[in-house]
Amino acid sequence: MSIQQDNRFQAIISHAKEYGFVFPSSEIYDGLSAVYDYGPYGSELKKNIRDYWWKSMTQMHENIVGIDAAIFMHPTTWKASGHVDNFSDPMIDNRDSNKRYRVDHLLEAKADLLREKGDEGSKEADALLASMDTLLAAEDFAGLKQLLTDQKIVCSVSGTANWTDIRQFNLMFSTQLGSVAEDADTIYLRPETAQGIFVNFLNVQKTARMKIPFGIAQTGKAFRNEIVARQFIFRMREFEQMEMQFFFRPGTEGEWYKYWKESRLQWHLSMGIPAEKYRYHDHVKLAHYAKEACDIEYEFPFGFKEVEGIHSRSDFDLTQHQLFSKKKMQYFDNDIDEASGKPFGNYIPYVVETSIGLDRMFLLIMANAYEEEVIPKGDGTSDSRVVLHIPTKVAPVKLAILPLTKKDGLPELARDLMNECKPYFKCFYEEKDAIGKRYRRQDAIGTPFCVTIDHQTKEDQTVTIRYRDSMVQERVLISKIKDLVLEQIME
């Protein structure tokens, strides 16, 4: 990450704390590594992103329904899913500092450094990542260690290349269910929400009377004992996922994968985030059951990184649960197969999964929104402001209602507008401080519209509406404000 980008990222982290978006967890005890709490504006923003995703899945698609499964699941779930045996990352320790690293992170950081050298460096970086993908796919740990040596990668703490061999490290947290430790069963905190969907597949299909193709969506907490927890809320130990599993007839996986790959990128773009900040990364390393997989990557201040994964998973998960639970996971398809003239009959559906991290999406929106803007004043001097250009749909506060003074009946008019609007969207009322100062505070939390009630309002029922991004101000009838904001939210 360049110094400039690093400074920008640090500024975003400070801003997030100062304005009540994100706090380090249990900060009075010096925090807990890679765990964060969301403050008043952060929890609104996070909820709005979650709601926007939920609506796009379960309201805009007639064939997708939601569930809310428990975090704790029967331990066999994680045997069946392969997480007990395979949910691990290749790790390496530095013998001098005793610091542990994820091998792919070390190589990715090296690739980022190479890219800073320009076109030649970018080519080298691409070649390095391609070699890494191939070695990871072959689980060739000796080859990976050789790659670290060839690239002269050293520990950032000790500065040495005194590495151990590479080992796998399981990322699941375990705990005990039951009061007496000896009798208690070991259970896991779910590392992904998806399995709650798979084990409920038939419950949902039957009770919601779903016909294939259909999807099941879920949002909720997931836990991973990430060894290298860094980059603020990008990689956390407790985080939230928004996942959707889409079930369909085997043989149609190519078209559904394509559909969801495109449709998910469109969802991101529908928030007005520029297309050039996104790219797809198609996986070379595929799980043995996977048909295709890709990541949607966003250009964070620390480079292009995954924000969402789209995975064509075949019938792997349902088949595994059928095997381990000995309960049938089949679906009866009574549509007629034109080739045979008979119903398709019983089969285990194939699945495409879309999986996005809510916290990562939050960081994406903050990173995209943050701007330190210089405003020329016309007399040769300039002013400045920090503004969050958060998409209106997900902004924590939509409308700030600001009476110019505390007297002359202006607060009463402002309160009337507040009472009219607050059942529809989040409003903020403030009568303290100069209006310019109040505007700046709203800019800093990303409020798209401010309305000022002044003496003219009493005469002609107009107010000044001020737009966050352009800072343009215009007079509008007070009776039009609610619909004006609603239109922008629904856009």
Binding site for ligand ATP (CB under 6 A): 192, 224, 226, 235-236, 239, 241, 306-309, 355-357, 359-360
In whole angstroms, give the CA distance from residue 276 to residue 295. 15
Q: In whole angstroms, how close is the CB of 49 to ligand ATP at the nearest point?
A: 12
Q: In whole angstroms, how close is the CB of 294 to ligand ATP at the nearest point?
A: 11
Residue 112 or 306: which CB sits closer to ligand ATP? 306
Question: How many C-alpha atoms does 463 have within 13 Å on its Cβ side?
Answer: 25
Q: What is the DSSP code (8-state) at residue 228? A: S
Cβ partners under 8 Å of residue 201, min gap 6: 216, 247, 318, 329
Residue number of the CB closest to ligand ATP reads: 357
Q: In whole angstroms, how close is the CB of 284 to ligand ATP at the nearest point?
A: 13
Output Rg (C-alpha) for the chain, integer angstroms: 26
Residues in the chain: 491
Identify whether the C-beta of residue 370 lies closer than 8 Å to the C-beta of residue 232: no
Residue 299 or 306: which CB sits closer to ligand ATP? 306
Cβ partners under 8 Å of residue 234, min gap 6: 300, 302, 305, 359, 360, 363
Residue 110 or 466: which CB sits closer to ligand ATP? 110
Residue 115 or 235: which CB sits closer to ligand ATP? 235
* Distances, alpha carbon 315 to alpha carbons 80, 287, 318, 322, 345, in Å: 13, 13, 6, 11, 16
Q: In whole angstroms, how close is the CB of 278 to ligand ATP at the nearest point?
A: 13
Residue 236 or 463: which CB sits closer to ligand ATP? 236
Beta bridge partners of 38: 22
Q: In whole angstroms, how close is the CB of 35 to ligand ATP at the nearest point?
A: 10
Q: In whole angstroms, how close is the CB of 449 to ligand ATP at the nearest point?
A: 30
Helices 103-115 + 119-137 axis angle, to 10: 160
Residue 1 or 476: which CB sits closer to ligand ATP? 1
